[in-house]
Amino acid sequence: MAKILLIEDDELAAEFVGSWLQDENHMLEHANRGDLGLEWALQSDFDLILLDWELPGMSGVEILKELRQQNKNMPIIMLTGKDTLVDKTTGLDGGADDYLTKPFELQELSSRIKVQLRRSAKQATNLLQIRGIELDSQQFKATASDAEGKSTVIDLLPKEFALLEFFMRNADRVFNAEAIMRRVWSTDSDSSTAAFRTALMRLRKKLAAPAGQSEIIETVHGLGYRFNSKP
């Protein structure tokens, strides 16, 4: 599951792309203006951005250059009807990682996204396995194995699944609540840290460690939370 920002003013195109990517279990946010898209891209943490060229408020190329100047290094794929060599060179020289000319097949878009996510090392694999917990982001499935090797499905709500994936991809690293919310919650969400702690509490109950083992998701007092990879 990747957190993707689509900056596109064509509402019909955005609906098609959004539905497709959500069916592939990505978390998608859509901004229909260039200036709004830039604001969201700067204030939240995205794994990848799909960026239209011609936008109201601010052009795609202007957004691209501003993000790179602000050291935002997430992969960016330009989506545009411009198909000349000069246009492609302008986009790639401005900092785009890939360039897809409209109209395009959604399957090709998915392939391009997978390539960029692998290169960025944020979504290197769909299957994560730590401490007897196996998470498959493509199948949207999580299981836990006991000492005897018996596997049980962990019934997770979408937000709990997103939290678990974030923690497992960043095992042993400490994050405060605000940093986690920037990655897991929508940019325009009005959810509070109380909502985060409630979701975390539910997840912890579903991931209860066996007796004698350390807590799986630990509180590091004064700093935040981490997924402890060591029993």
The C-alpha torsion from 40 through 96 and 138 to 21, rounded to 10°, is 60
pLDDT above 70 covers what percent of the chain? 92
The pLDDT assigned to 121 comes to 62
Residue with the larger pLDDT of the pair 125 and 54: 54
The pLDDT assigned to 183 comes to 85
Check whether 67 has a pLDDT greater than 90: yes
* SS3 of residue 31 by DSSP: strand
State the average pLDDT for the chain: 88
Sole residue written with tokens 């090797």: 149
The pLDDT assigned to 102 comes to 86
Distance, in Å, from the CA atom of 64 to the CA atom of 222, rounded to the nearest integer, reads: 36
Mean pLDDT within 81-87:
68
The pLDDT assigned to 184 comes to 87
Mean pLDDT within 127-155:
87
Q: Domain ranges for the chain, please list them.
A: 3-120, 127-227
pLDDT tens, position by position, 87-135 = 667 767 778 899 888 889 999 999 999 889 888 765 557 789 999 899 9
Give the least confident one: 122-131, 162-171, 179-188, 218-227: 122-131
Check whether 86 has a pLDDT greater than 90: no
Asked if 135 and 128 touch (Cβ cutoff 8 Å), the reply is yes
pLDDT tens, position by position, 189-205 = 666 788 889 999 999 99
Q: Is the dihedral of CA 33, 34, 39, 40 positive or negative?
A: positive
Write out the E strands in 11-158.
Answer: 27-31, 48-52, 76-80, 98-101, 127-130, 133-136, 141-145, 151-153
Fold of 3-120: Rossmann fold (3.40.50)
Distance, in Å, from the CA atom of 177 to the CA atom of 224, rounded to the nearest integer, reads: 6
Fold of 127-227: Arc Repressor Mutant, subunit A (1.10.10)
The pLDDT assigned to 124 comes to 57
Asked if 161 and 1 touch (Cβ cutoff 8 Å), the reply is yes
Residue with the larger pLDDT of the pair 163 and 148: 163
The pLDDT assigned to 187 comes to 77
DSSP state of 47: S
